[in-house]
Structure 1
């Protein structure tokens, strides 16, 4: 197993970009023999993870309304729900976007035998989402971790130029998505018009339908689509926030005959066809950060207002109508790099940020002065590692998720619900306490004092680092998450689709009434001291 010491500021790259560490530390594809002490340490930690995982798996029928596990051959860096396209009595069908990282550097890191010519891909899958209170308990708890789920079927493959670090869908046109890779450009794809490709050795790259230019250095993670207008927002290592409008190209993207990738019967060089992708210049380039921009987000009600965060620990609010300088700049929003930001879609006054200082903070923009004065209205602390992603639910005013690696927990603060995804560093005692608290709540026992205030749910189904997740806007309590299993299994990843039981978040009186008939069984499941 490779080891790469991660400083706080570099935690994100070490977690999301293992090949960077591999390129420095690995000189060949041969695996170094671990020392005796390393083997003992790995064996002990792996045994603890396996024990906690076994405990979690035994509680699936109690904690979940539905659960699906899908094994991935290659590692993945991003997952995203697409549009729902079919409704049935017991389940709905929906697009699911997923990346496959099969680059040469990933092959070295994961010790997979390949000469580096296996391409990176963007996968469009069809997912069957079982409706609430339909799946039988014995069905969701009986699955093979090494098998692919029957609920997830590959529909189309795009051979992507470089690894797919981010995927974002265009709200105004469900067929259009944008991707970030290791380059200054943003790539835009019409997933229906693009031809289905086979990810074979030496396959030529698919041609994006649009290329958005404007960054001077690589832009790898910060990417957002506007809910109000067909605008795209990006941030990069050049410290810029860049805004594009693709309005003039929407009609061309909707015409499959005009897609550069659609005429791929003839191939020239490495690209699938000879026609070059059209390029779009930015509408505005915004200056204000002093370091890499890590994440960006539009205001849900305005195409002209957006926010960004970066490695300079700043939260910046922008208004394109007033120029390219910050409208509000909050200095030292966190004590470490700020990795992620999201804007509440139901109340645009609230903004969430997550940081390398292991905390999530909620801001009220009405309290932020022009000089950046103001404090967060709440701090969510207690995490054991950097928070890498935060996402607000579109159907609950104060419900959100944050990524911080192999678990999901939920908090009730000020009487509202909050959902948090936690990293692997905290997967020890916190998991056990979570299960104990959930079961104690159901059987009427006293709350465990060691559980963080307000915690009411935590997803602990991943045994390695989670790299991405996404709320399902068509089914608000359903979440897709993907983990990078390189350290635990030597390669591949795990995609999980899950929905917590409504007994966990419904009003307590309703829950207790329904559970009365099952009280004895739940009490027998609770851990014994």
Structure 2
């Protein structure tokens, strides 16, 4: 991030927001020949062009542009350590991005999930396309305006490297390539009404019996009113790419409304091992329920909750490798591991991982004995579950040490997620308005340590820092390597750095 004087980010010459178009004053078709109101100071149009587009010599304009460029402070800005002076704002270093797009919705979406598509894996071509679902957070007086948004974003172009690097672009073939890659971004949405604010939303897919048809996509939405709604959003996704598709009001109704919670909650996760559907949810009373879809399509919650936390359950995740195991994180500072086959519904392992609330957890899909946690004090850590001792029938408390721990962020961790294919890369979002990318495999030798000695409090594992106001949640795209999406009070951000 670089700092920019305030007058460059506001006023009549401020950059246009996404979707805005410049306002033309006058009619271009009525323009006549050049008129010289200063008694023919320039004798011809050619003479005007030779003097520069604004009538000044090129040398004079170039000198002014150089002075203007010097007004930008190129120093790296580190939130939590550096402070903006009065009248300053932040500007991203676009040379560090391969992809960078931002967009806003009518109401903020503080939780979302990326929906896998049929466009292929390991995609690197541009323009890029992605599908997602999100839940809104409308003002309390306008709760009836809340919605579940099904979204398609297309035309996501890569950064124009030639423009960033200041190179000329005279090659016709390159121009044609850029025209294809530099498409205009398009956001398409389908709306499903919701009766309350969304606390958290998660999507899952499973194949249909007819393999030629698109997979079924369902969402589970935890609402502020304590209910959990399950929707089938397959028709809404299909409509984006099948013109003429009509979505009936019945198709926007929930296929199940779960009312077992008495307080609102934020913890929710679909089992990756049960195709017919198995859902975990946890609430602010510390209660966790499993809801299973029967063969007849009926969603049935367990009547007896899992109990063990002394405070609210903040996050919950199924093991990626063990069908009957899940982990939960709580504001009591504990992470607990559970086996659903236990008749007591008590945790198998309990570990105190923080003196503050544990807000989020992430289980590595590549190395399944690694679990990451993020806490209210800004610290996030990685734990080796093989060091967590316990028994299958009786909970025990152990105090292992994390295999990695970082306190770079000075505000609460709001989201954490392992890279889908690289178990050394992490994405972390925090209350200091930043999303950071980390490489846990980085280790500096003595010579490199000397070179970085002047960088205070910045771990060498920190790959990238992206400033995003009020960010709440981030997810990697599973099919576009290195692409990560974040959401918060200021809208959505989609980015891919040149370093990941």
TM-score (norm 1): 0.63
1:243-254 to 2 correspondences below 5 Å:
243-248=290-295
Q: Compared with structure 1, are the counterparts of its residues 226 and 284 closer, same or farther at alpha carbon in structure 2 (3 Å cutoff)?
A: farther
Provide Cα deviations, 1:25-63, integer angstroms capped at 9, x if missing partner.
Answer: xxxxxxxxxxxxxxxxxxxx9964973512x2xx21x11
Q: Please point out which of 317, 327, 337 is paired with 2:348.
A: 327
- Take 1:49 and 1:396, find their aligned partners in 2: how far apart are those partners? 41
Q: Compared with structure 1, are the counterparts of its residues 94 and 354 closer, same or farther at alpha carbon in structure 2 (3 Å cutoff)?
A: same
SS of 1:459's partner is strand
Is the Cα–Cα contact under 8 Å of residues 79 and 480 in structure 1 kept in the other structure? no
- Take 1:374 and 1:228, find their aligned partners in 2: how far apart are those partners? 30
1:5-154 to 2 correspondences below 5 Å:
48=85, 51-54=88-91, 56=92, 59-60=93-94, 62-86=95-119, 90-105=126-141, 116=142, 119-128=145-154, 130=156, 135-137=159-161, 150-154=184-188
Q: Compared with structure 1, are the counterparts of its residues 50 and 240 closer, same or farther at alpha carbon in structure 2 (3 Å cutoff)?
A: farther
Q: Please point out which of 199, 208, 211 is paired with 2:257.
A: 211
Is the Cα–Cα contact under 8 Å of residues 213 and 280 in structure 1 kept in the other structure? no
Give the structure with the larger helix fraction.
1
SS of 1:366's partner is helix
1:356 aligns with 2:393: no
Provide Cα deviations, 1:437-484, integer angstroms capped at 9, x if missing partner.
Answer: xxxx9xx9756431522244333342x211222111111311111221
SS of 1:372's partner is strand
Is the Cα–Cα contact under 8 Å of residues 472 and 488 in structure 2 kept in the other structure? yes
Paired residue for 2:399?
374
Paired residue for 1:476?
481
Provide Cα deviations, 1:215-272, integer angstroms capped at 9, x if missing partner.
Answer: 2x223211111111131111102211211222535xx5xxxxxxxxxxxxxxxxxxxx
Is the Cα–Cα contact under 8 Å of residues 94 and 129 in structure 1 kept in the other structure? no
Q: Please point out which of 228, 231, 241 is paired with 1:186.
A: 228
Which protein shows a greater Rg?
Answer: 2
Please say which of residues 358-367 and 446-455 is displaced more in the overlay. Answer: 446-455
Q: Compared with structure 1, are the counterparts of its residues 408 and 416 closer, same or farther at alpha carbon in structure 2 (3 Å cutoff)?
A: farther
Q: Compared with structure 1, are the counterparts of its residues 362 and 190 closer, same or farther at alpha carbon in structure 2 (3 Å cutoff)?
A: same
Tell me by how many angstroms 1:188 deviates.
0.7
Q: Please point out which of 429, 435, 438 is paired with 1:411.
A: 438
- Take 2:415 and 2:472, find their aligned partners in 1: how far apart are those partners? 9
- Take 1:160 and 1:139, find their aligned partners in 2: how far apart are those partners? 44
Paired residue for 1:305?
325
Is the Cα–Cα contact under 8 Å of residues 342 and 392 in structure 1 kept in the other structure? yes
1:170 aligns with 2:204: yes
The answer for unaligned runs of 5 or more in structure 1 is 1-44, 106-115, 142-148, 197-202, 253-277, 418-440, 485-492, 506-529
Paired residue for 1:432?
none
- Take 2:163 and 2:320, find their aligned partners in 1: how far apart are those partners? 39
Is the Cα–Cα contact under 8 Å of residues 84 and 92 in structure 1 kept in the other structure? no
SS of 2:88's partner is helix
Paired residue for 1:223?
268
Is the Cα–Cα contact under 8 Å of residues 183 and 220 in structure 1 kept in the other structure? no
SS of 1:170's partner is strand
The answer for unaligned runs of 5 or more in structure 2 is 1-81, 166-182, 207-214, 240-248, 391-395
Paired residue for 1:494?
491
Paired residue for 1:315?
335
Tell me by how many angstroms 1:140 deviates.
8.8
Is the Cα–Cα contact under 8 Å of residues 81 and 470 in structure 1 kept in the other structure? yes
For these two proteins, the number of residue pairs brought into alignment is: 368
Tell me by how many angstroms 1:283 deviates.
7.4
- Take 2:287 and 2:86, find their aligned partners in 1: how far apart are those partners? 41
1:243-322 to 2 correspondences below 5 Å:
243-248=290-295, 280-282=300-302, 285-322=305-342
Tell me by how many angstroms 1:339 deviates.
0.8
Paired residue for 1:460?
466
- Take 1:77 and 1:138, find their aligned partners in 2: how far apart are those partners? 35
- Take 1:138 and 1:160, find their aligned partners in 2: how far apart are those partners? 45
Is the Cα–Cα contact under 8 Å of residues 313 and 334 in structure 1 kept in the other structure? yes
SS of 1:340's partner is strand
Q: Compared with structure 1, are the counterparts of its residues 238 and 205 closer, same or farther at alpha carbon in structure 2 (3 Å cutoff)?
A: farther
Q: Which has the higher relative contact order, 1 or 2, with Cα contacts under 8 A spaced 6 or more apart? A: 1
- Take 1:91 and 1:337, find their aligned partners in 2: how far apart are those partners? 41
Q: Compared with structure 1, are the counterparts of its residues 69 and 248 closer, same or farther at alpha carbon in structure 2 (3 Å cutoff)?
A: same
SS of 1:72's partner is coil
SS of 2:104's partner is strand
